[in-house]
Structure 1
């Protein structure tokens, strides 16, 4: 109820490409700070209070609540939505029609070519990161035989690096678009995974410092992998408006969140299945050789493999700063009374690349999404 409307705010607040990119980037950077605080606050209270006491748990929950309420108040007074005059009423008649509209619109998002490409970047990029996070503890503890506290330290170090790399990728995307930065970020993650596994197989000395170096490198790439798909998201509604003639940014936020949760649950489930098949036993300090090799295999074939699939989808992405400017200009032309017949061959080709539909089939002249009775099209 909070995250889906919150994710749409950059789209509502401005139409400018750079401003949306910076808004999404600042959101991601504050998210990194929040992740760091979420991990640090319980540790602080447990340091001062007895671990068997309920007090640190209560104070942790109270602190989280205060931070959340303060953040929501600041958000309310420092953000805004699109003017109500620009919002089209899409009310439905009755529960069943509303239910029908919800699922018709939700599944219609997959008809937009750019969204399908973007979903590939998002799910396989994030999926690789989620699988890595789920596997990393096993790798450090059982493969490299390091203490669990070392895992926590490396995760904290990675979070700090992600904060700075998010700022870098934010500025890069504002100037150059999304494709190349995302590919570079993914390649950094892939090279880091290869480095981690290489440390195990090559039995390299000075392991701790080497792992620290790889973790810093990994964190620099991870910041971009987490940031860029959500930066692309804020421009999807403009492409969808070309296709449907409607503003559906909230719908795309919901579709992304839903797909992301399904992917995260899937990768964690698959990890558990794979490890159990190769003889992993919880509760013991030393795993069998097959279980250790399975962990390495998940890192290489699972994490790196999914990341490379994310690169494949990013190469197919046609939405960038220039193409967004062109479709925005075309939307404004039509809203001011321009004729579709006057569209240039270049814009017709671009619309086909971004939507997957011919120009004349766009702007609501199709069966994409819920159709309202007795309502004129947007164009």
Structure 2
């Protein structure tokens, strides 16, 4: 049985005392220009760039995407482990255990631009994409821990999540409209459109990361960790690989985190499938152009921005799970309307196509916000189970699961298109290839939405239950080992998945 963390480690992490100002929220949120912005650019344009300007087949293009995601899936938990433990080193004490990674990534972020050079080989695109994914993980994993480092209460963490998603949606709008603007000036057949876009976004990424480093901080960790824990968490590469497996299984021992992952994957993989197929759907199934795609995607992201504002208020006042179900329903309606209009013979030039765009955008915006809002509370649930703070472990494992599933989803889309007879650089595709695109967009997206909704019916983290959770954590810190009342015990047991007498380190998760 694991020892009591208070007895083994009397110097537990303390709560931050610095107030969170408006500029801290803006600086934190602006970094999602890299998080959401880069992913919006890649998910919307990378496959069409590879197949239209680089001579790659759909299968080759999605293999590049998938290989990079798989490698990154293993890198991310290692970075998460290192960011949890490097604070005891000289460089970690000087620059911060999280923020040192952000600082180191800034000069490497132009790697995004070199991905968009046309006319190169398969191996060039594979190496450049993998390189950017590594730099992305190096910056984004520590970033994902900072909201929990800088805040403890439910409302402030929700504000951080809201700032992140709002800024991310603004960058996604730019990711949609900027290519359209460049296409209008350079022509639809110019590959320089994508290179200039990559350069512009690289500059934005560096500026955002600089703001984040300048206006963020980390929770103070007083000295006094016992020798056994320090030896276990020494930031070596071997320890990091061991932590990949230990953290994967230990974090999944937290019930709220398992449910959170299910909602996250349902909401995000549905969008991965939709994004991968949508550009092809508009161009080949609806007889559209890349300019029309840019406009439709841009309007979708504008609507998503509005949806995030609505979701912030909904999740703060009521239940994140209920807001998630409304969002999934709206996104699903948008997809169904798209399919119905295609079946009825409408083309992308029809004004009626703004209707499904609105439904899809409202749902997608909320689905983007809600999982990241609930993620900020997972370390609190883990703390009452283990008696420790492991924000980096959760960020790494969450990204590992996300990237692995995303890789599989995108590879599947590419392989289905390839098997259906999709021809790269062709202006017209066969009826079989078009049917495959339509089926992937519809069935794939809707199936993942249904999965997420089913999981959300069991997720019960709300402002009220989170407040109870924090009260019980304080009781454990004060040396209490019994709940204040049975209702509180039931709440904590439901969130953690463990009996009350097994909490605070008295369970296998804490080992």
Distance 2:259 2:225 in 1: 28
Distance 2:301 2:143 in 1: 22
Contact kept in structure 2, 1:22 and 1:174, CA below 8 Å: no
Distance 2:195 2:139 in 1: 23
Q: Are 1:285 and 2:427 an aligned pair?
A: yes
Contact kept in structure 1, 2:286 and 2:347, CA below 8 Å: no
Partner SS for 1:341: coil
Q: Structure 1 residues 61 and 101 mapped into 2: Cα distance closer, same or farther (>3 Å)?
A: closer
Q: Are 1:262 and 2:401 an aligned pair?
A: no
Aligned twin of 1:363: 504
Contact kept in structure 2, 1:92 and 1:98, CA below 8 Å: no
Distance 1:210 1:156 in 2: 16
Aligned twin of 1:191: 333
Aligned twin of 1:222: 364
Aligned twin of 1:238: 380
Contact kept in structure 2, 1:45 and 1:56, CA below 8 Å: yes
Q: CA offset at residue 337 of structure 1?
A: 2.5
Partner SS for 1:84: coil
Distance 2:190 2:432 in 1: 41
Q: How does 1:105-254 map to 2 (within 5 A)?
A: 105-203=247-345, 208-254=350-396
Aligned twin of 2:152: 15
Q: Structure 1 residues 54 and 28 mapped into 2: Cα distance closer, same or farther (>3 Å)?
A: same
Distance 2:273 2:386 in 1: 35
Distance 2:340 2:193 in 1: 41
Q: How does 1:308-327 map to 2 (within 5 A)?
A: 308-327=450-469
Aligned twin of 1:85: 222
Distance 1:117 1:157 in 2: 31
Q: Structure 1 residues 192 and 56 mapped into 2: Cα distance closer, same or farther (>3 Å)?
A: closer
Q: Structure 1 residues 337 and 228 mapped into 2: Cα distance closer, same or farther (>3 Å)?
A: same
Q: Structure 1 residues 321 and 41 mapped into 2: Cα distance closer, same or farther (>3 Å)?
A: same
- TM-score for both structures, normalised by structure 1: 0.88
Q: CA offset at residue 8 of structure 1?
A: 1.4
Worse-superposed segment, 279-288 or 111-120: 279-288
CA offset digits 1:129-181 (Å, max 9, x no partner)? 01000111121122222223211111111111111211111121111130111
Partner SS for 2:222: helix
Distance 1:206 1:59 in 2: 27
Note the residue ranges of structure 2 that are not aligned, 5 or more in a row: 1-137
Distance 2:493 2:482 in 1: 15
Q: Are 1:345 and 2:469 an aligned pair?
A: no
Q: CA offset at residue 204 of structure 1?
A: 5.0
Contact kept in structure 2, 1:185 and 1:224, CA below 8 Å: yes
Q: How does 1:85-104 map to 2 (within 5 A)?
A: 85=222, 90-92=229-231, 95=236, 96-97=238-239, 99-104=241-246
Aligned twin of 2:208: 71
Q: CA offset at residue 118 of structure 1?
A: 0.8
Worse-superposed segment, 89-98 or 321-330: 89-98
Contact kept in structure 1, 2:299 and 2:357, CA below 8 Å: yes
Distance 2:224 2:351 in 1: 55
Q: CA offset at residue 51 of structure 1?
A: 10
Distance 2:447 2:198 in 1: 38
Q: Structure 1 residues 346 and 199 mapped into 2: Cα distance closer, same or farther (>3 Å)?
A: same
Contact kept in structure 2, 1:199 and 1:207, CA below 8 Å: no
CA RMSD of aligned residues (A): 2.8
- TM-score for both structures, normalised by structure 2: 0.66
Aligned twin of 1:331: 473
